[in-house]
Amino acid sequence: MSEKSAPHRRTATGGVSALAERVLELLASGQASTRTELAGLLGAAPSTISLTVGQLVAHGLVAEEGTRSSNGGRPQKVLRLGGSDGFAVAAELGGRHVHVGVVLPGGGLTDVSTVPFPTADGPESALPGLAQTLDSLADRHGRQLLRSVGLSLPGPVDVASGVVTLPSRMPGWNRFPVRSWLEDHFGVPAAIENDANCMAMGEQTVQPPERRQSIMVKTGTAIGAGVIADGRLYRGGSGAAGEITHVRVEAAHDIPCSCGNTGCLETVASGAALVRILRERGLDVASTEDVVRLATDADPEATRAVRQAGRYLGMVLAANVNFFNPDAVYLGGILSTLEPFVAAVRSQLYEGCHPLVTEHLAIERASLGADAGLVGAGQLALQRALAHALHEVIGGHA
């Protein structure tokens, strides 16, 4: 092959790889299970999809099982991932606890539990204990079937290098090679991602396929958002897409924020802000859980503060919803369990958005609830394992 033709070959291979990766993503997440569904979601010609699926079947990455009747046409073959008896172990880190479980292709979740996790001790002290917990899960389900490990982190993540970057609530974690540490320990591909992005990814796997654009908002001690564009997680140019928590809001005045600025949304609408506000009003609260308990018991001060926090969040969200025009806004995190908070966000969106934007907009609590981030971390891990397998196949047959 001449040097002039070599770049063309690499480009062609890259094109095949990109389409094949998308096919594997859609099958892994459960959003598609036939060639027709794949063609519709990817906007590709049926012949192109059939060729790509055929290649994946030939290499054992996709399998065909049974048929499904179609409207007026011949039965369609049902597709699944090859070796789909594999699984990922996943974990979602919080401030003092970690949520763990086993995630199956298609979004199935089992063996979920919550155990203590000393995030503030730093990664070198905290990760070995987490690895032991995940090792136990892997051994219980058959270590030989472990495909990947997923980790949801409460801070900004550089996905390309696999590190956490400048996390305000994770002392000692900045630039630590979390993904490499996990891959070295478990011997399988690992994926790490921001918690709001994981929640967005997890919720996408269980929503109707026609909902292709959405915003997931995590409302807990801090605030975060994950964006789904055309059915895929959208990270933005530097991985910071959805960073609404540090938008300046007039009501916050010059209140100091964890980011080093003043007047951010986080200072008036997060769980940490509500703890501060209610303590200033003389209530005995020490955590976001305390705030939720008081509001659930209809304490008037807590309910008023929660409702106001929802309004502030809704104001910032309205600008993003007007700009992005999503199909849905999902609310997750502990504050989303409070009806006054959810109602205030919903009311502010209807008030602050153009009628065309809200005409068909779904504004809902995350249907997966507290498990959304865990499912998302596991799905991202399984996708990374599939991408590794695909690149090995293409590299060996280019």
Could you write out the DSSP letters of every residue in 94-150? -SSEEEEEEE-TTS-EEEEEEEE--GGG-HHHHHHHHHHHHHHHHHHH-GGGEEEEE
| Rounded distance between C-alpha atoms, residue 50 and residue 62, angstroms | 12
Is pLDDT above 70 for 398? no
Average pLDDT, the chain: 90
Confidence of residue 83 (pLDDT cuts 50, 70, 90): low
Question: What is the average per-residue pLDDT within 43-53?
Answer: 92
How distant is the alpha carbon of residue 138 from its chain centre? 22
Q: Could you tell me if 146 and 88 are in contact, meaning their C-beta atoms sit under 8 angstroms apart? A: yes
Question: What is the average per-residue pLDDT within 289-305?
Answer: 97
Q: Mind listing the domains of the chain with CATH numbers?
A: 6-84 (1.10.10.10), 87-200+373-393 (3.30.420.40), 208-366 (3.30.420.40)
* pLDDT for the residue 3: 33
* pLDDT for the residue 158: 93
Question: What is the average per-residue pLDDT within 229-235?
Answer: 93
Helix, strand, coil tally for the chain in percent (to 5): 50, 20, 30
| Rounded distance between C-alpha atoms, residue 29 and residue 354, angstroms | 32
* pLDDT for the residue 27: 86
* pLDDT for the residue 58: 85
Whole-prediction pTM: 0.86
Confidence of residue 84 (pLDDT cuts 50, 70, 90): low
Confidence of residue 71 (pLDDT cuts 50, 70, 90): low
Question: What is the average per-residue pLDDT within 47-64?
Answer: 88
* pLDDT for the residue 72: 57
Confidence of residue 2 (pLDDT cuts 50, 70, 90): very low
Q: Residue 201: which H helix or E strand, with range?
A: helix 195-204
Q: Which residues of 5-38 are buried (b: 16+ CB within 10 A; e: fewer)?
A: eeeeeeeeeeebbebbebbbbbbbbbbbbbbebb
Over residues 170-211, the pLDDT tens digits come to: 899 999 999 999 999 999 999 999 999 999 999 998 998 889
Between residues 143 and 73, the one the model is more confident about: 143
